[in-house]
Chains A and B, each alone.
Chain A
Amino acid sequence: MIGNDIVDLQLASVESNWRRPKFLNKIFTGDEQDFIKQSANPEIEIWKLWSRKEAAYKIYNRETGIRGFFPWKLACSLEENDIARNSGVVAINAKQYYTNTEITENYIYTIAVNSILNFEKITEVHQQQKIIKINGIPFLENYLQPLSITNHGRFERKITLIDS
């Protein structure tokens, strides 16, 4: 299982006012809020954690069929090593997902998988393949292969898993 999420940093800066009272409180766990407040660049950390949560939520939604708005329940690991490597676990209830995040000056992009081995099987879908949705969850029609799509502002990414 896979999930992905991209944040267009330029769009996020005009679309979301994270400095608004209670904004962080509604999204992040206590530990995450402390981490953000102590960081040198809170804006980047906010969107990094947010994209990890969103990417992990997409797998959780596929696995459980549960749909809802509960970003604070998707807890991001904040260990120094993980943070330095832009990777880490996102845990919800008894489940945990692994994330890798790419940070550029224009976007933040996270891929989440349910098993670390799946990182190697991820393929980007570039060509126009037919996509169908089952209960709002996208699949590639040809193979009924799970697909994860994310778009925000100037950016879009589509990924699937290929067994090699």
Chain B
Amino acid sequence: MNKIDQLKEIIKPYVPNRERLEHLTPETDFIKDLAINSANLVDIILDIEEQFEITIDNDGMEKMMDVKSALAIIDEELAKK
């Protein structure tokens, strides 16, 4: 499974409108496009940390607003391992 599909699986439980998830692109915004509740962004961050066995620091969390930045942060943290 590539990373964008892995990410899709992670965010799926938090997306109220599942149809929008079908058209996930790097530009997709978690809140504006997917209507994810901002409190659930924490769950997504924790799920990403668990699944990829990484730790996302505060700088990473601040940027965690869309698919593109989430993927970049995952890559950045994986590279540190």
Contacts and interface: CB of A to CB of B under 8 A. Distances in A.
A26 B45 contact: yes
A152 B58 CA distance: 26
A15 B37 contact: yes
Given A23-B42, A27-B42, A152 B61 contact: no
Contacts of A152: 37
Nearest to B49: A22
A16 B49 CA distance: 17
A69 B61 contact: yes
B62 A70 contact: yes
- Say which size band chain B's interface belongs to: 10 to 19
B21 interface: no
Nearest to A54: B38
Given A69-B62, A70-B58, A72-B58, A20 B41 contact: no
B80 interface: no
Given A15-B37, A136-B32, A152-B37, A26 B65 contact: no
Interface of B is mostly: helix
A22, A23, A26, A54: residue with the most chain B Cβ atoms closer than 10 Å: A26
A15 B39 contact: yes
A148 to B, nearest CB: 14
Contacts of A22: 46, 49
B65 A15 contact: no
A17 B37 contact: no
A69 B64 contact: yes
B16 to A, nearest CB: 10
Interface of B: 32, 37-43, 45-46, 49, 58, 61-65
The 5 A-B residue pairs with the shortest CB-CB distance in the complex, in nearest-first order = A68-B62, A70-B62, A26-B42, A16-B39, A69-B64
9 contacts: A7-B39, A15-B39, A17-B43, A23-B43, A23-B46, A50-B39, A68-B63, A68-B65, A69-B64
